[in-house]
Copies of this chain bind each other. A is one copy, B any other.
Amino acid sequence: MKFDLVVTDNSSSARAGLMQTDHGTIETPIFMPVGTAGTVKAVHQRELKDDIEAQIILGNTYHLYLRPGLDTIQKAGGLHKFNGWEHPILTDSGGYQVYSLSDIRKIKEEGATFQSHIDGSKHLFTPENVMDIQRVIGADIIMAFDECTPYPCEYTYARKSMEMTHRWLKRCCDRFDSTEGLYGYNQTLFPIVQGSTFKDLRKQSAETIASFEREGNAIGGLSVGEPAPEMYEMTELVCNILPKAKPRYLMGVGTPMNILECIALGVDMFDCVMPTRNARNGMLFTQHGIINIKNEKWKNDFSPIDETSDLYADQVYTKAYLRHLLQSKEILGAQIATLHNLHFYLWLVKEARKHIIQGDFIQWKNKMVVDMGKRL
Residues of chain A from 69 to 125 with CB closer than 8 A to chain B in the complex: 71-72, 75-77, 81-84
Say whether B84 contacts A302, CB under 8 Å: no
* Complex copy number for this chain: 2
Q: Which residues of B contact A325 (CB under 8 A)?
A: 37-39
CB pair A321–B38 under 8 Å, yes or no, is yes
Q: Is A24's CB within 8 Å of the partner chain B?
A: no
A225-268, CB under 8 A of B: which get 1 and which 0? 00000000000000000000000000000000000000000000
Chain B residues near A316 (CB-CB < 8 A) = 45-46, 84
Which residues of the other chain, B, contact A331 by a CB distance below 8 angstroms? 39, 41-42, 331, 334-335
CB-CB contacts of A42-55 with B at 8 A, as 1s and 0s? 11111000000000
How many A residues touch B, CB cutoff 8 Å? 41
Contacts of A327 in B (CB 8 A): 67-68
Partner pick for A330 among B39, B72, B77, B299, CB 8 A cutoff: B39
Q: From residue A74, how far is it (CB to closest CB) to chain B in Å?
A: 10
The answer to whether A324 has its CB under 8 Å from any CB of chain B is: yes
* Listed A/B pairs (10) with beta-carbon separation below 8 Å: A40-B332, A44-B313, A44-B336, A46-B312, A46-B316, A71-B300, A72-B320, A76-B318, A82-B321, A84-B321
Could you list which residues of chain A lie within 8 angstroms of chain B, going by C-beta atoms? 37-46, 67-68, 71-72, 75-77, 81-84, 299-300, 302, 312-313, 316-318, 320-321, 324-325, 327-328, 330-332, 334-336
The 4 A-B residue pairs whose C-beta atoms are closest, nearest first, are: A42-B331, A68-B324, A39-B332, A84-B316
